[in-house]
Structure 1
Amino acid sequence: MSESRNVWEEFFANKKSGGHRSSAEEFISKEAREKLYHLDGGKTLLDFGCGAGELLVYYSLEYEKLVGADFSASMLEEAGKRIRERKRDNITLILANDKTLWEKLDTSFDRITAAGVIQYLTDEEVDDFIANASRHLNKGGKIVLFDLLDPRLYPLWKIGLFSRDFGADKILRRILFDARTTLLAALKNRPKDILGYTHKPYTIEKIANKHGFKMEYVQSMYYEYKYHAIIS
């Protein structure tokens, strides 16, 4: 979040819901179950980029103590409402970004996770994030990065390959629209896509190995163009 940090913080400044495919509670609960399966236990959890707490409140049913962190005050406000409504008194919220988070923590965790967040970090910032997370991880703990944009599948999703009404005419329109978006972004010196960066699984694995971890990646069940990196 270096050069484009202000762009992302500006974009999310007044947002009040996460970027889930559906805001329906039934869908969120299914997505949470998938992520809990990959988190695979532990008693304490740090959720960086918790957003409005949609997943966090489901995680809280399985963990004794949780910290949710986000750089968007409006998102955390919504998370706080959701936490109070569901009476989840085992969650603490922190306003912080990937740089300021670590100095605000006074404990370590069994699991550190981030869902739909790593796409806003460069490779160098991912490296820093994993390095910092490793220093706040309990023995035998895991760092689980959910919903990374896969550069091999993301372009196919963008042109509509996974849509139900996939067709040549729609592909052409999407390609032209994407070209226009890229040009306008370049002229305004903004990221070409608000979804951020894609990261090759092998790049994340190389970073994980550098810090003494092993990594496996699995395809997301609910987003055809995303994958999860499980670092242990």
Structure 2
Amino acid sequence: MSRSNIWKDFFKDKKHGGHRYSSEDFLSMEAREKLFHLDGGKRLLDFGCGAAELLTYYAPEYEQLVGVDFSESMLEEASKRIKKKKCQNIDLILADHETLWEKLNSSFDRITAAGVIQYLTFQEIDKFISDASKYLNEDGKIVLFDILDSRLYPLWKIGLFSQDANGFKILCKTGFEFRTAISSSLRNRPKDILGFAHNPYTVEKIASKHGFRMICVRSMYYEYKYHAIMFRA
């Protein structure tokens, strides 16, 4: 089974996104942070919208929104949430990063994805930005939220950022992560179900290749993640 299919299989029955907390208070705060970086626009495309936890908070700020996800169960939950929140300006599409573009019939001021890009290789990110640029309005932005930082994520995994971190716990956690990586490699499975950790400088080079400038911003709520804000140079 390919890595792509493994992740699709993992998410196929999921009903909630991978937010640190599922309370509405936290989702509201997280959405406000992301809206600040999205910084306007009228039409928004949210790739990997999941159960629309953030999308419904974006809705009052946009005229039209399109949420996309490859998980039918996620979109079922998204539809319920959209109806509950009485959002009349959101459409949903079942698609992945390869099939999405052929299902669109309009362009957007903002194209965003949160907690998704780590499931793509650098080659797939390159293709995603290239495809997205064709559906982006003149003054539009591509904003990729919550990308795993290859410099910080390994430190987070071994507990270095934990409030009760100590040498013994970090050593034990390091051993566990090492064994997990070896086991995954032997079984030809991804080393981490959260996906790939990407260096922001490599993502910036890809953005530049397609005519974008990129600003890297640290996530407020996930200390091992960053946001990539791209706009045409």
One-letter identity of the residue aligned with 2:202: T
Cα distance, 1:170 vs. partner?
Answer: 1.0
1:180 aligns with 2:179: yes
Letter in 2 for 1:164: Q
User: Counterparts of 2:116 and 2:178 in 1: how far apart (Å)?
Assistant: 25
Q: CA deviation at 1:180?
A: 1.6
Which whole-Å deviations, capped at 9, do the CAs of 1:165-207 have from their partners, x for residues lacking one? 1111110111111012112211211001001101111111111
Match of 2:139 in 1: 140
Query: 1:52-106 CA distances to partner (integer Å, 9 max, x unpaired)?
Result: 1000000101011000000000001000000000110100000000000000000
What residue is the counterpart of 2:213 in the other structure? 214
Question: SS of the residue aligned with 1:60?
Answer: helix
Distance 1:3 1:213 in 2: 31
- 1:3: how far off? 3.8
Which ranges in structure 1 are unaligned for 5 or more consecutive residues?
none
CA deviation profile, 1:105-155 (whole Å, cap 9, x unmatched): 000000000000000000000000000000000110000000001111111
Q: Distance in 2 between matches of 1:97 and 1:70?
A: 6
Name the SS of the counterpart of 1:112 in structure 2: strand
What does 1:20-169 correspond to in 2, within 5 Å?
20-169=19-168
Count of paired positions: 231
Which residue does 2:230 correspond to in 1? 231
Which runs of 5 or more residues in structure 2 are unaligned?
A: none
Per the alignment, residue 7 of structure 1 pairs with 6
Q: Which amino acid aligns with 2:78?
A: A
Is 1:170 the counterpart of 2:169 in the alignment? yes
| In structure 2, C-alpha distance between the alignment counterparts of 1:166 and 1:159, rounded to whole Å | 9
TM-score under structure 1 length normalisation? 0.98
Percent of paired sites with the same residue? 67
Aligned counterparts of 1:168 and 1:66: Cα–Cα separation in 2: 47
Q: Distance between the aligned counterparts of 1:86 and 1:31, measured in 2?
A: 17
Residue 112 of structure 2 aligns to a residue whose secondary structure is strand
What CA distance in whole angstroms lies between the structure 2 residues aligned with 1:211 and 1:100?
A: 20
Q: Counterpart of 1:145 in structure 2: which amino acid?
A: L
Q: 1:208 is paired with a residue of what secondary structure?
A: helix
- What is the aligned-residue RMSD (CA, Å)? 0.9
Specify the alignment match of 1:200 in structure 2.
199
Which letter maps to 2:4?
R
Counterpart residue type for residue 14 of structure 2? K
